[in-house]
Structure 1
């Protein structure tokens, strides 16, 4: 990693509203839980998320990733895609994709967390 890391991260205004709605609807107790889950979902799905053009700052990096395990996970799973980029900017992109995906599922009738975890397990088994 050769890029300077930001001290705060967030989402687009639209995705931030969707994350708040997911919390209000009881899918996540805290916004931070939904944000982290969204990153994990995007990583599990193996997506290459688009850039977040205009973002709203939501969290301090130290709050989201106090032990840097998230940073190490993104580096390990995305390898060359983040070699010369900011890991936490990539985390924002992953969260943006994940929040939009979760909101889409919620709007279509509900989030099947068991199905999402099963899917991630199947992908991991196929990658071995």
Structure 2
């Protein structure tokens, strides 16, 4: 593979981005030398970005809010998944934790990744205790 090297610096990263961008207009065939080069560049870029520009996954409540906003879902849609309107209010206000059953339903019906929904997060009462 022509001219492939590790990405160790921002200059290397900029070079790799410029190299892979060339393939966006003329996509290489899978399994061809250019296709293999594209794959290697993509892996190198992804590894560098994961190390230097990590993106933290949202906590469960933020993930629910984002999903509702992304799909323009009203609170009623969440009520249909979780149960009662008061329970939804408590969940969104961080006054009640998600149960395993809620996690399962949100994962199954809204396709929010379970690993995001089971992530520990602080409830409003936990925050109030820390302030006192």
Task: Give the TM-score of the pair, scaled to structure 2.
Answer: 0.23
Task: Give the TM-score of the pair, scaled to structure 1.
Answer: 0.23
Higher relative contact order (CA 8 A, sep 6+): 1
> Which structure has the bigger radius of gyration?
2
